[in-house]
Amino acid sequence: MTIRTRFAPSPTGMLHVGNIRTALHNWLWAQAQGGEFWLRIDDTDAERSEERFVDAIRADLAWLGLTIAGEERQSARFALYEARFAALRDAGRVYPAYETAQELDLKRKIAAGRGLPPVYDRAALALSDAERASFEAAGVKPHWRFKLDHAAPIVWDDLIRGPQKFDAATMSDPVIRRADGSWLYMLPSAIDDAEMGITHVVRGEDHVSNTALQLQMFDAMGVAPPAFAHEALLVGSEGKLSKRLGSLGVAHFREVGIEPEAVRALLARIGTSLPVEPLVETQALVESFDFAKFGRAPARFDEAELTGLNAKIVHQLDFEHVADRLPAGMGAAEWSAVRPNLQTIAEAADWWGVIEGPIVAERDLADADFLAAAARAAESLDWAGDPWHALTAALKAETGRSGKALFLPLRRALTGREHGPDMKALLPLIGRERAIARLSPE
């Protein structure tokens, strides 16, 4: 059996960090099992679905490195839904209901006033043929509900949450189709999972009750359900569900210089017992992916943690990986020199400016003679070797300076900064002529 997972977003907006985590975990499980990861565009909502969001979803998955084996679109599968719907209707597992939204709301309020759960009372099942005909004659179109089987409990062994049990009698028969003929999420999703051969579904724990309902749909269609893994929801750094998380997506990450490797490394591990590590290659994430490592507590997403992780990722990236994003003329030696001081790749441009110049350097009057001596020493150095250590050794012998008093004025004059890359690597890149000019009296 080929392991097959899917990511099924609705193209009504951009993917956010919670969606991305779901997609990543489905992809990782498929990769770990030598299986396939599919994209399914759930675009049954014609009014809200937009093609630009479909394009954005594909682009985001590509940026994240989540390769797909194939793609399906629900809008191209309506004939399949109609056929399954007709079979379920003929088998008595779906039925028409004529209550208005206002009538259903009133029923819920009455139930709440009596201290009862807001479970649909199945009044539509008690309608006679004549009563249904009367509704139809009056132009009232029904919505359609799936009839749950109350005879046995709904049970399954969740890959994360363990054994699950629901009493169908305590649940409302779900509406699967609106009066205008459009589909709601539940039945088309179950049909697609069956028809696409989906073997595993990884999704948020807010779908647990949906899974209970869909398991009966799979059974009514006579098909085996996929295995389900319901993971804890993503929360903000403050430990609560955050509106901020709904606005964080690939566009934001790219804008602030976050690398896809950092996003993968963080989202693969938060909410598990495994440590978050700056892993550039996905293979280590694939090999360690294990539902048994997932916890039940909410997974906490912290942008500051992502930023720190991103820096550690950047420090590992080789020149070939970043060359097309560096300033023109910046080579492997320059990248190697400045890389340890970067938070993002874009910051390399700042250090390229320091190397190439011109720079603005503040000089302390007390250092004027010292820097003049440094300029003279720089002229006589062997620049083919290690000019930084040769320069500092000569100046220490001539002036008696050491430590911060020796190194800091030189760094300021040569780079315009008090901190930065190792000067042993940076000074040869600045070069003899520029270094002498920067050290010489103004």
Which pLDDT score, from 0 to 100, does residue 28 have?
98
Check whether 243 is labelled as a binding-site residue.
yes
CA distances from 266 to 29, 37, 143, 305 (A): 16, 20, 43, 8
Dig out the tokens for 56 from the structure: 């954005």
Give the whole-angstrom CA distance, residue 176 versus residue 180.
12
Burial class (CB in 10 A: 0-12, 13-18, 19+), 313: buried
| Cα 402 from chain centroid (whole Å) | 49
* Stated length of the chain: 442
CA gyration radius, the chain: 32
Give the whole-angstrom CA distance, residue 262 versus residue 268.
10
Residues 125-151 as b/e (b if ≥16 CB within 10 A, e otherwise) read eebeeeebeebeeeeeebbbbbbbeee
Helix (H, G, I), strand (E, B) or coil at 47: coil
Helix (H, G, I), strand (E, B) or coil at 98: coil
DSSP readout, 206-260?
GGHHHHHHHHHHHHHHT-PPPEEEEEPPEE-TTSS--GGGGG-SHHHHHHTT--H
Nearest Cα neighbor of 214 from 65, 93, 297 is 93
Give the whole-angstrom CA distance, residue 343 versus residue 341.
7
Nearest Cα neighbor of 140 from 172, 108, 101, 107 is 101
**Whether the Cβ atoms of residue 439 and residue 414 lie closer than 8 Å to each other:** yes
| Cα 391 from chain centroid (whole Å) | 49
Parallel/antiparallel/unpaired status of strands 234-235 and 299-300: parallel
User: For each of the chain's 442 residues, which pLDDT tens digit applies?
Assistant: 899 999 999 999 999 999 999 999 999 999 999 999 999 999 999 899 999 999 999 999 999 999 999 999 999 999 999 999 999 999 999 999 999 989 999 998 998 888 888 999 999 999 999 999 999 999 999 999 999 999 989 999 999 999 999 999 999 999 999 999 999 999 999 999 999 999 999 999 999 999 999 999 999 999 999 999 999 999 998 777 677 888 899 999 999 999 999 999 999 999 999 999 999 999 999 999 999 999 999 999 999 999 999 999 999 999 999 999 999 999 999 999 999 999 999 999 999 999 999 999 988 999 999 999 999 999 999 999 999 999 999 999 999 999 999 999 999 999 999 999 999 999 999 999 999 999 998 7
**Whether the Cβ atoms of residue 311 and residue 284 lie closer than 8 Å to each other:** no
Alpha helix (H) ranges present in 72-169? 78-90, 101-113, 129-137
Amino acid found at 392: T
Would the CA dihedral through 245, 250, 251, 256 be positive or negative?
Answer: positive
Give the whole-angstrom CA distance, residue 37 versus residue 59.
16
Count of CA atoms in the C-beta half-sphere (13 A) of 75 = 13
Burial class (CB in 10 A: 0-12, 13-18, 19+), 85: buried
Residues 325-358 as b/e (b if ≥16 CB within 10 A, e otherwise) read ebeeebeeebbebbbebbbebebbeebbebbbee
User: Cβ of 364: how many Cβ atoms within 10 Å?
Assistant: 12
Which pLDDT score, from 0 to 100, does residue 419 have?
95
Count of CA atoms in the C-beta half-sphere (13 A) of 210 = 18
Give the whole-angstrom CA distance, residue 248 versus residue 290.
26
Burial class (CB in 10 A: 0-12, 13-18, 19+), 267: buried
DSSP readout, 60-72?
HHHHHT---SEEE
Parallel/antiparallel/unpaired status of strands 4-7 and 36-41: parallel
Which pLDDT score, from 0 to 100, does residue 237 have?
82
Which pLDDT score, from 0 to 100, does residue 238 have?
78
Give the whole-angstrom CA distance, residue 88 versus residue 220.
7
